[in-house]
């Protein structure tokens, strides 16, 4: 009986949220557009090797910097490689950077944030001070130093970006937990003698998930741009594997001779970031229980 009592309120709340959320999401045109973009990028990333028209890696000196044509819809780059193929494969790099970095940031950051908010006391103070210190360090600098330390590679860049973005989630999660700690659910659950970790998993996490998810989409967008910045400095995905940021960086040298080269990766970065942001905004609007 007590079990049912405990779970029922949460489930009812969650169910109402879900129905309303999905409905709202689908009605929002901007969100649909964003979703479309995200799904397209995901599709490219997952099925890259099946849909690429040409080899994205092998240079072809005869075709250096050719403009768009029937054979090469987006033209060729400075080593004669098909830009469209490189863009499709680049989706894999950029999206990995987005998902993995944001994933690291969300889980690591939120874990410590929940810990700090729930435990309070000395644990809270220590975690908050460290998070503040990390937040005070400029994001790109942390990413650069970590990426240099760990060695230039996509994985290390993702770890670096994830670590640099984590403190935001710590703060966010902590403040959300503090809000909820004072509610009746948690008070009564504690009074009933439930273990802390059960309280956290069943009561706290579902209720703080929404803002964290929204922040995560913003972090994903920042991560994609950060990966581009790191390739500018030579850290990040290593050649010859393409990433949109690295493609943009190479194209920068040919802006006046072949402006088309920059257009496509730039557009790809812009659209993917836009897509994530729109989905994030829509999620927030939909999941926010206080919306009419």
Binding site for other proteins (CB under 8 A): 28, 30, 57-59, 61, 64, 78-80, 129-130, 132-142, 144-146, 148-149, 151-152, 218, 221-222, 224-225, 228-229, 232-235, 238-240, 245, 248-250, 252-257, 262, 266, 269-274, 277-278, 281, 284, 290, 292
- Residue among 84 and 248 whose Cβ is closer to other proteins: 248
**Minimum CB separation from other proteins for residue 155, in Å?**
14
- 9 or 240: whose CB is closer to other proteins? 240
Closest to other proteins by CB, 175 or 188? 175
Instruction: Give dist(CA 29, CA 26) in Å, integer.
Output: 7
> Smallest distance from the beta carbon of 201 to other proteins, in angstroms?
28
Identify the H or E element spanning 114.
helix 83-119
How large is the greatest C-alpha to C-alpha distance in the chain, in angstroms? 76
Nearer residue to other proteins within complex by CB, 66 or 203: 66
Q: What is the DSSP letter of 200?
A: I
Q: How far is the CB of 266 from other proteins (least distance, A)?
A: 6
Separation between Cα atoms, residue 55 and residue 75, nearest integer Å: 14
CA distance 25 to 195: 36
Complete DSSP assignment for 205-235: HHHHHHHHHHHHHHHHHHHHHHHHHHHHTT-
Closest CA to 90 of 246, 233, 223: 246
Least separation in angstroms between residue 190's CB and other proteins is 23
Cβ 218 to other proteins shortest distance, Å: 7
Q: Phi and psi at residue 82, in whole multiples of 5°?
A: -65, 125
Q: Which residue has the tokens 């410590």?
A: 112
Q: Which residue number, 199 or 223, has a Cβ lying nearer to other proteins?
A: 223
């Amino acid at each position: 009986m007590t079990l049912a009592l405990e779970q029922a309120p949460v489930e009812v709340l969650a169910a109402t949220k879900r129905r309303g959320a999905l409905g709202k999401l689908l009605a929002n045109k901007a969100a649909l557009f964003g979703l479309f973009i995200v799904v397209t990028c995901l599709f490219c990333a997952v099925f890259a090797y099946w849909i690429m028209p040409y080899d994205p890696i092998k240079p072809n000196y005869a075709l250096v910097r050719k403009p768009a044509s029937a054979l090469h819809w987006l033209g060729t780059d400075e080593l004669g490689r098909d830009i469209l193929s490189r863009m499709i494969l680049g989706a894999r790099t950029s999206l990995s950077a987005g998902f993995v970095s944001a994933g690291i940031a969300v889980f690591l950051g939120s874990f410590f944030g929940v810990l700090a908010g729930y435990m309070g006391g000395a644990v809270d103070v220590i975690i908050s001070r460290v998070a503040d210190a990390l937040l005070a360090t400029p994001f790109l600098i942390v990413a650069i130093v970590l990426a240099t330390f760990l060695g230039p590679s996509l994985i290390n860049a993702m770890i670096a970006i994830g670590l640099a973005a984590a403190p935001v989630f710590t703060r966010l999660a902590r403040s959300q937990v503090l809000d909820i700690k004072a509610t009746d659910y948690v008070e009564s659950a504690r009074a009933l003698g439930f273990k802390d970790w059960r309280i956290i998993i069943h009561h706290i996490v579902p209720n703080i998930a929404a803002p964290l998810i929204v922040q995560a989409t913003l972090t994903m967008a920042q991560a994609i741009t950060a990966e581009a910045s790191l390739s500018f400095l030579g850290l990040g995905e290593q050649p010859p594997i393409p990433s949109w940021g690295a493609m943009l960086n190479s194209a920068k040298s040919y802006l006046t001779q072949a402006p088309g080269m920059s257009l496509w990766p730039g557009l790809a970065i812009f659209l993917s970031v836009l897509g994530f942001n729109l989905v994030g905004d829509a999620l927030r609007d939909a999941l926010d229980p206080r919306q009419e």
